[in-house]
Structure 1
Amino acid sequence: MNSSIENSTPTVEYYYYYDDNSPEVVSVAAPFIVPMMGYVYPIVAILTILMNGLVVTVFTRKMRTPTSIILVALAISDTLTCLCMLPDSVYLYTLKNYKTYLPYRWCVYRHYIVGDLYRVTRTWSNWITVVLGLQRYIVVRLPFKAKQISSSRNSIIACVVACVIAVTVHLNLFLFIEVHQLPVTSETNETLPDGCYLTVPEFYIEAVGDIGKAVWMYYLISGTFSRFLPCLLLLVSTCLLVYELRKGQRFVVTACQNASSKRNTKQITQFVVAILVIFLISELHDAVAFGIYVYEIASDRLASILTQKVDAIWDYTGVMLSLVGFQCNFWIYLLMSSQFRSALKSLCLSPYRQETETTTTSQSYLQENRSLIKVTKINSDK
């Protein structure tokens, strides 16, 4: 658990008190992880955050629809996921601090933000994507009821419910582990920054009784609701959407009478399908890992397929795949939606237009004043 960002195969020593009180460290499972997390991840994460800012601005100012509400929530959840991981990536791998033990303050940040909050925001992103797929299928399949079912109010409620599910699924994480300060001294008795070690709280052990059973039950429940179930629902909804698209004009909402509205509806459906496919490509990686872990638990052969080293590499790869998926969303909007391109262009040109309009107004006002002065002068001469 200590050797990766999101290691999903717990070891016995992680869930019990450390006997040697050794400070927490982060080991590197493979050489490629350092440049990948130290250089590639920060650059892509910063670009994703900036592009998501554009997405939120465009959808909230220029394209307010029930679908855009879900897309804004998706951009916010993706941004929070990037923000959880970005400082840790820079501190550990860009600045090469993985070579020593973790200071206490950074250990607290890494445990509660990178470990716990990251899982919550990523699960929230997964369920918002599920909401997006289901909402679009309702629009396509039930055009007469779409306005009532897929209203703006219901979209907001669905996004809030997705957030509640994500917090509930991972609430156990915030109670399960305590982070303690650990004084560290060198061989020359020089005082160094405090390290940290992790323990399971006594109240938690007394409450659950069998700590091992409680750990595996939590893992199975959280894995089902954060990985397996979202991927399954999205796989089904994506296949149904693609099927409807192949049937031609059936996906067009009956209320749309003009060709422009029909074209916009078609484009929205197509880029939603593209988002769902990209999501499945990135998240199925974790769903497969979850299936392997379940098999290992059921057969009592822990780490028999995914060893600790392979598991760490698998987790880092999943982190990068999810980040690439976040990045692709903006380009899907830009390349597949003419309405989004027009709204973005209008947003970017609005300051220039405002300045032009101000200049024109000032010139007109000046010309009117000059004309008034000229008329006044003529009248006075007479």
Structure 2
Amino acid sequence: MESLTNMQNATRLNRTFEDPVSNSVNLNTELNLTMTSNITNLTDSEVIVVDFRQFYKYGFEFILYGYFMPVWASMSIIMYALMITVFIRYGMTSKTHICLIAIAICDSVSPIAPTSIWVYFFAIKKHFYYLPFEWCKIYHYTTEVIPQFFTYTSYFITIMMTVQRYVMVAHPFKAEKLCSKTVVYIMIVLCFLTSVAIRLVHLFHYKYSETTVPGIDNANTTMQACTFSRPDWMPVSFYTYLGFLMTAQTIIVGVIPCTVLVVSELLMIRAINVRSAKREAMTSKAKGQSKNAKSERRLTITTICITAVTLFYMVPVVIIQVIDVLVLMFDLDIGDYNNLRTAIVVLNVLYWMCIPSNFFITCCLSREFRCGIRSLFI
């Protein structure tokens, strides 16, 4: 969950903005925001006014989300569709391949909702200002909640695949029981259910209200903008709640899984080196490795590479989450908090850019997969 900017609640707010994208409204002048009664009557003063100009202060964020992301997401979906087709058509359905198929499905579905809404707001409507009140829930659900169901699932399946591959390399005699296809299918379902359970609270943790702001096309008109605030059922301060939520999420989804990935990665590298040394000693007088042994080794190297890419973008995410927690819980001074949101945008785009890496890694390491791709077009 991306934490949002704190905006002080008052009957009238005077703010000065610098518009990075458009000058259709004079944003270098003071904007008088009049809160409606349902906001001013709140028992606390923690209200978030959804203003894209504050969240994405440099302007390039709109270009990344509105133009780059849809193109890249479409390319990713095409590549993963090819990947799944080749796996199924040519019988590449080992336990590791099943995990790769599940990851491909999740990574193909996850960008559909957010990119659709970003294209509508930032590319088609050129809407770089306040979020209209009628779009409150839709924008929140499609950009923060629904995509995470699938990105978390993909992440957890990657962890499962890494641990499974380690067991198959280091403990091959236990692998048939611990890593059977039935177990893999059950674990994939559990990964999805866990992801939904983790994100489910985000469907209910905002109270959506409206506030009157200057119109988008004409500063002399007004519009109703979206605000987030503490729901009635929440017994604690809104930002205290967000702090605890971010802390739990950072530990459960960030620190612990990354630690498991790092340990599994190191153990798997060690195990594959030990196993290779033993195999070389046993087959020194033979012709060489069997076809199955070579295939298993390539799958292990593929898993190691995929895990490395996952850590490449997850470690910075965890660092940003820790900083966010320190800001929310301990009032850490980081200067302009909106720079943190820009960092989140960059990391989000980095994540989406890394999504097709599974396709490229598999293509580089699997001759059978390359032949399958080639046969689709020849």
* Normalised TM-score (structure 1): 0.77
Q: Distance in 2 between matches of 1:198 and 1:26?
A: 14
- Kindly tell me: are residues 305 and 108 of structure 1, through their superposed partners in 2, closer, same or farther at Cα, counting changes over 3 Å? same
The structure that is strand-richer by fraction is 2
Q: 1:176·1:200 contact (CA, 8 Å) conserved in 2?
A: yes
Shift in Å, 1:212:
4.1
Matched, 1:145 2:174: yes
Q: Which residue identity is paired with 2:244?
A: M
Larger Rg: 1
Structure 2 residue runs of 5 or longer lacking an equivalent are 10-34, 42-46, 283-287
Q: Which residue identity is paired with 2:256?
A: L
Shift in Å, 1:96:
5.7
Q: Which residue identity is paired with 1:197?
A: T
Structure 1 residue runs of 5 or longer lacking an equivalent are 1-5, 350-382
- Kindly tell me: are residues 251 and 319 of structure 1, through their superposed partners in 2, closer, same or farther at Cα, counting changes over 3 Å? farther
Q: Distance in 1 between matches of 2:200 and 2:79?
A: 30
Q: Which residue identity is paired with 1:215?
A: L
Structure 1 counterpart of 2:195, from 160, 166, 174: 166
1:178-189 aligned at under 5 Å gives the runs 178-180=207-209
Shift in Å, 1:315:
0.4
Q: Distance in 1 between matches of 2:213 and 2:204?
A: 26
Matched, 1:90 2:119: yes
- Kindly tell me: are residues 176 and 7 of structure 1, through their superposed partners in 2, closer, same or farther at Cα, counting changes over 3 Å? same
Matched, 1:241 2:268: yes
Q: Distance in 2 between matches of 1:227 and 1:7?
A: 14
Match of 1:377 in 2: none
Matched, 1:129 2:147: no
Q: Distance in 2 between matches of 1:293 and 1:339?
A: 45
Matched, 1:73 2:102: yes
Structure 2 counterpart of 1:270, from 301, 307, 310: 301
Q: Distance in 1 between matches of 2:109 and 2:264?
A: 26
Q: Distance in 2 between matches of 1:215 and 1:288?
A: 17
Shift in Å, 1:305:
2.8
Q: Distance in 2 between matches of 1:346 and 1:58?
A: 9
Match of 2:342 in 1: 313
Q: Distance in 2 between matches of 1:70 and 1:91?
A: 33
Structure 1 counterpart of 2:68, from 40, 46, 54: 40
- Kindly tell me: are residues 250 and 291 of structure 1, through their superposed partners in 2, closer, same or farther at Cα, counting changes over 3 Å? farther
- State the identity %: 22
- Kindly tell me: are residues 152 and 348 of structure 1, through their superposed partners in 2, closer, same or farther at Cα, counting changes over 3 Å? farther
Structure 1 counterpart of 2:319, from 284, 288, 297: 288
Match of 2:249 in 1: 222
1:230-379 aligned at under 5 Å gives the runs 230-247=257-274, 249=276, 259-296=290-327, 300-302=330-332, 304-305=333-334, 307-348=336-377
Q: Distance in 1 between matches of 2:349 and 2:278?
A: 34
Match of 2:3 in 1: 8
Q: Distance in 1 between matches of 2:154 and 2:313?
A: 12
Q: Distance in 1 between matches of 2:39 and 2:57?
A: 22
Q: Distance in 1 between matches of 2:335 and 2:148?
A: 21
Q: Distance in 1 between matches of 2:48 and 2:325?
A: 31
Q: Which residue identity is paired with 2:227?
A: Y
Structure 2 counterpart of 1:50, from 72, 75, 78: 78
* Normalised TM-score (structure 2): 0.78
Q: Which residue identity is paired with 1:242?
A: I
Q: Which residue identity is paired with 2:98?
A: I
Q: Which residue identity is paired with 2:204?
A: L
Per-residue Cα deviation, 1:325-368 (whole angstroms, up to 9, x for no partner): 1021111111111122233334555xxxxxxxxxxxxxxxxxxx
- Kindly tell me: are residues 219 and 190 of structure 1, through their superposed partners in 2, closer, same or farther at Cα, counting changes over 3 Å? closer
1:205-220 aligned at under 5 Å gives the runs 205=234, 208-220=235-247
Q: Distance in 2 between matches of 1:325 and 1:132?
A: 18
SS of equivalent residue, structure 1 residue 247: helix
Per-residue Cα deviation, 1:174-205 (whole angstroms, up to 9, x for no partner): 1111334668886799797x643334321x22
SS of equivalent residue, structure 1 residue 109: helix
Q: 1:25·1:98 contact (CA, 8 Å) conserved in 2?
A: no
Shift in Å, 1:76:
1.4
Per-residue Cα deviation, 1:40-78 (whole angstroms, up to 9, x for no partner): 222211101111111222223321111111111111111
